[in-house]
Structure 1
Amino acid sequence: MIYARIAGTGSYLPGEPVSNDDLVRRGIDTSDEWVMTRTGIRSRHLATAEVGSSDLALIASERAIEAAGCEPDEIDLVIVATSTPDYIFPSTAALLQSKLGIRNGGPAFDVQAVCSGFVYALTVAEKFIRSGSHKRALVVGAEVFSRILDWSDRGTCVLFGDGAGAVVLEASEQPGIVASALHADGSHHPILCVPGGIASGQVIGDPFLRMDGQAVFKFAVKVLGDVAHEVLDMAGAEVASVDWLIPHQANIRIIQSTAKRLGISMDKVITTVERHGNTSAASIPLALDLAVRDGRIQRGHRVVIEGVGGGFTWGAALIDF
């Protein structure tokens, strides 16, 4: 039996932290108290104009590859989860493959499931590896959400940040990704979307992120609780067996409500939202890498990751680390 296990993790955040007070000094109509009490976010990182998702992904990937103890050309599958690609095409994954110097002809493609993107990408990579067709996958979540924010809308612009996280997934005789579940319901797309596009060189529609915060909150808490139970049930596992929960880092109140619904103490929840803000598809691998590198997550630990994002999409995976 072939399984897929995480062999290494990596992450990258661009520049220095930008605090809530920094945003006020930049002219945003907000305050540290307003943002903190509603979201738990104190700072975020913002990429400069010349930096794209593939640039962030490159550094995170190099760190994950180093942690896995392999060489870039040993990667035979590259999947990047992003809603903010460098170009319309080629894919950010293809650009990343080139920047890493991978020339083995393995597939490279993007997955677009917004904040659930990393869970989607990891699940897809696991299927490739378990099929026997590929041995080592690089799975990345990378975003420059600052490019799609309306900086006059304080209800959204204070929430998001830029960054990238990556894992190397390898074929193994020991279970790693124990169970996963993916879902979507497109009927909810109006509550979180960027309702614009490009045609004939012009922006058609609205190119900025728009969100109904209350509707997103209610939807997120319900589906995150449900999908975590779903993957545990698939594996015949109890909540008590989970060492760590890594939810999508969108809002501390969503995270706290989800943990309470699952009956998991916040002491067992990895949170980075205070320092990173919502980095969409990058948020889960960023939090995972932080907890691996600071020693909280260790080999033998059981981890649940879960995300929910525009689409609406949602998903979870149960991982024996």
Structure 2
Amino acid sequence: MINARIEHIETHFPDHVLSNADLCVTFPSWTPEKILAKTGISERRISAPNETSVDLGVKAAQKLLMKYPELMDEIDYLIFCSQTADHFLPTSACIIQDRLGLPKHIGAFDINQGCSGYVYSLAVAKGMIVGGIARKILLITADTYTKLINENDTSVRTLFGDGAAASVITASEGPQGIKDFVFGTNGAGANQLIVPAGGFRQRPTKDSAHEVRDEFGNTRSADQLFMDGSKIMMFGLGEVPKAIKALLTKAELDLEQIDHFIFHQASLLMLEKLIKKLKIDPNKAPLSLEYTGNTVSSTIPILLKSCIDDHRFETGDKLLLAGFGVGLSWAACIVEI
């Protein structure tokens, strides 16, 4: 029986570091310790003005290809998951194919998905492999949300960082690999995490660029990222436990049989509340956001790579991956090492 597994992961981050101490210059009522306690983040990486998600994704993939040069001839499909693409068109994955020097006979397309994007992309990759369409897929996730953030908006500036991950999803015949999935969507909450202007529904204008200060003292324009933090928190704590229960039922597993919970690294506060609500051992839910921030579509592969480097996983371990956020969208899956 053909299955699919995650074979390799590499990551890449911009050079510029924005520390909590740096943020406190702009937000003097905060302290570095207060930001760390609330978010779990000490610093986040910020892309340069001329550095895009495609640039970050290409560098992550180049690291992987330098380490495993045989992949140049083995990759037969490229998926790029991002919400901060270089252009409305063409497809960023096509640009990446050329910049990496991958063969012209491969397929390539983009997925516009955020916090749940890695799990969604795994589902697509597995479906293509099991369906015989591809045997080895290069999956790149990358986002540069910081380009969408007003520097005077504490509600999001303390949370988000930029980064990328490149994963290889390959066909396999063993029992291990990518297993069951569950998904969820509530588009009624789309305006809870949104950049209102910039697309074709609301084109950017002088009016959309006008900055407004909200009741909480945060400044932003319609061209910039808005997040209703309390509603996003309620959404995550409401939907993610239900999705995990549904996934475990589908996989015929108990919560105690999961060795590691690989959650989207939204914020420390969100993760602590989620872990408490699920009544799971915190040691089973590793964290990786302290030095990267919330990197949106890349938080899960970044965390996976950190756990792999720390030799945290053993053969036979069962991982539960769960992404949730912008959309509103959520997705979870089981991966057996």
Question: Shared topology, TM-score over 0.5?
Answer: yes
Instruction: Please give the secondary structure, in 2, of the residue aligned with 1:203.
Output: coil
Distance 2:328 2:252 in 1: 27
- Report matched runs for 1:21-60 at 5 Å: 21-25=21-25, 27-29=26-28, 30-60=30-60
Q: Is the 8 A contact 2:16 2:47 kept in 1?
A: no
Change (3 A) 1:298 1:60: farther
Cα drift, residue 187 of structure 1:
0.3
Distance 2:8 2:111 in 1: 21
Cα drift, residue 16 of structure 1:
4.6
Higher mean displacement: 309-318 or 218-227 = 218-227
1:15 maps onto 2:31 in alignment: no
Cα drift, residue 252 of structure 1:
0.9
Match of 2:309 among 280, 293, 297: 293
Distance 2:58 2:283 in 1: 32
Q: Is the 8 A contact 1:129 1:171 kept in 2?
A: yes
Q: Is the 8 A contact 2:192 2:231 kept in 1?
A: yes
Change (3 A) 1:179 1:167: same
Q: Percent identity?
A: 30
TM-score (norm 2): 0.89
Q: Structure 1 regions of 5+ residues with no counterpart?
A: none
Q: Structure 2 regions of 5+ residues with no counterpart?
A: 209-221
Q: Is the 8 A contact 1:73 1:101 kept in 2?
A: no
Whichever residue aligns with residue 230 of structure 1, its letter is A
Whichever residue aligns with residue 188 of structure 1, its letter is G
TM-score (norm 1): 0.93
1:188 maps onto 2:210 in alignment: no
Instruction: Please give the secondary structure, in 2, of the residue aligned with 1:17.
Output: strand
Match of 2:287 among 271, 277, 287: 271
Distance 2:315 2:108 in 1: 29
Q: Deviations over 1:256-282 (max 9, x none)?
A: 222223232111112112221111111
Distance 2:95 2:31 in 1: 38
Distance 1:179 1:5 in 2: 12
Distance 2:62 2:290 in 1: 26
Change (3 A) 1:314 1:19: same
CA-based RMSD: 2.0
**Which structure has the bigger radius of gyration?**
2
Whichever residue aligns with residue 121 of structure 1, its letter is S
Cα drift, residue 163 of structure 1:
0.2
Q: Which residue of 1 aligns with 2:328?
A: 312
